[in-house]
Amino acid sequence: MEYIYAALMLHKLGKPVNEEHINKVLHSTGASIDESKVKSLVASLKGVDIDSELANAVVASAGPASDSASSKPAEEKKEEKKQEESVAGLSSLFG
């Protein structure tokens, strides 16, 4: 995860996201560096519009949260209805 954070920080600061800069960021934090992970990350990000990807990630993460919030009252209504039915069933036993 620290590799991703380093790349995002470099991007935010307008610095090139390359092996040298990622290594410098990771080294400054005291993290142990796996060169293969750094190379893999840099290769994966080559040609990627990070700003666009971040904007899409924010939209994608916001979408489901609003759906779950709107379905919650329906779940509560079902639960209340079940409680009412069970109370009515119990009252019929005691007439």
pLDDT in tens, the chain (95 residues): 999 999 999 999 999 999 999 999 999 999 999 999 999 999 999 999 999 998 888 777 676 555 555 555 666 666 666 655 555 554 555 54
Same domain for 43 and 72?
A: no
Same domain for 59 and 19?
A: no
Please answer whether residues 30 and 6 qualify as being in contact, where contact means their C-beta atoms are separated by less than 8 angstroms. Answer: no
Same domain for 23 and 63?
A: no
Same domain for 62 and 82?
A: yes
Same domain for 41 and 65?
A: no
Domain total for the chain? 2
Same domain for 61 and 84?
A: yes
Same domain for 33 and 75?
A: no
Tell me which residue range forms the domain holding 39. Answer: 1-48
